[in-house]
């Protein structure tokens, strides 16, 4: 069976699209998936600081076009997109630690991730707030208070750092980073056709 490792950060709008779109793809390809939360800011700091320079110039034509394309891709995927909001950019440390606390239960992680993406990109909620994380968890039948507490534990903090370091070591430079069969790296929502081809292998 083909395998996909999906490294992601909840703060990324392109990852919101890719997470949604990849669901159908992996089902059709009967591929196994590992959802792997990481901290995209840590990746940027290590290997892709040019992202910050681009953000500092909102009049850059590339930034303007990317924003337009983002909303067009959301319409193609039939996903609601309320972005950017007052909560952008998101620090995302707390929500990604919460994801790491769920990583051993991939079904729970997938459900929480889907709900968290919707809360941030459709409902415009602040994922950096513990009460919001707890509420999202409750909505997918998880113990919200316990999840927020777990996100503060050193073991979980270390897990997020380890996942981020692992992604960097495997060549990641942003979110989502997708690796097929432990070898070939793909990046972004627009490369999902290539992911499909690699999974078909």
Give residue-wise pLDDT tens across range 103-143.
999 999 999 999 999 999 999 999 999 999 999 999 999 99
Neighbours of 79 (CB within 10 A): 18
Q: What confidence score (pLDDT) does residue 53 get?
A: 58
Q: How confident is the model at residue 58 (pLDDT cuts 50, 70, 90)?
A: low
Q: What confidence score (pLDDT) does residue 47 get?
A: 85
Q: What would the two tokens of residue 177 be?
A: 């980073």
Angle between helices 61-77 and 13-29 (to 10 degrees): 40
Cis peptide before 89 (omega within 30 of 0): yes
Residue 51 has pLDDT above 90, yes or no: no
Q: Coil, strand or helix: which one is 187?
A: strand
Separation of alpha carbons 90 and 165, rounded Å: 20
Instruction: Tell which residue, 118, 115, 148, 112, has the closest CA to residue 130.
Output: 148
Separation of alpha carbons 105 and 113, rounded Å: 12
Name the percent of the chain lying above pLDDT 90.
Answer: 87
Lowest mean pLDDT among 27-36, 48-57, 100-109, 139-148: 48-57
Structurally, at CATH architecture level, domain 3-200 sits in 3-Layer(aba) Sandwich (3.40)
Mean pLDDT of 87-112: 97
Q: Coil, strand or helix: which one is 164?
A: helix
Q: Is the separation of the CB atoms in 146 and 98 below 8 Å?
A: no
Mean pLDDT of 35-46: 93
Burial class (CB in 10 A: 0-12, 13-18, 19+), 113: buried
Q: Tokens 């940027």 identify what position?
A: 44
Q: What confidence score (pLDDT) does residue 56 get?
A: 59
Q: Is the separation of the CB atoms in 81 and 122 below 8 Å?
A: yes
Separation of alpha carbons 172 and 40, rounded Å: 9
- The model carries a pTM of 0.94
């Amino acid at each position: 069976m083909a395998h996909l490792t999906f490294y992601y950060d909840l703060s990324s709008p392109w990852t919101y699209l890719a997470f949604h779109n990849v669901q159908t793809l992996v089902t059709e390809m009967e591929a196994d998936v590992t959802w792997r939360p990481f901290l995209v800011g840590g990746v940027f700091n290590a290997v892709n600081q040019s992202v910050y320079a681009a953000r500092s110039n909102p009049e850059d034509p590339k930034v303007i076009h990317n924003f337009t394309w983002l909303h067009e891709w959301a319409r193609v995927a039939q996903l609601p997109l309320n972005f950017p909001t007052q909560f952008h950019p998101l620090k995302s440390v707390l929500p990604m630690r919460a994801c790491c606390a769920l990583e051993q239960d991939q079904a729970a992680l997938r459900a929480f991730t889907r709900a968290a993406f919707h809360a941030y990109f459709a409902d415009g909620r602040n994922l950096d707030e513990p009460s919001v994380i707890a509420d999202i968890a409750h909505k997918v039948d998880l113990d919200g208070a316990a999840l927020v507490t777990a996100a503060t534990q050193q073991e979980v903090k270390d897990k997020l750092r380890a996942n981020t370091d692992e992604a960097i070591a495997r060549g990641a430079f942003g979110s989502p980073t997708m690796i097929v069969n432990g070898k070939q790296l793909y990046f972004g929502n627009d490369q999902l056709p290539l992911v499909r081809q690699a999974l078909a292998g």
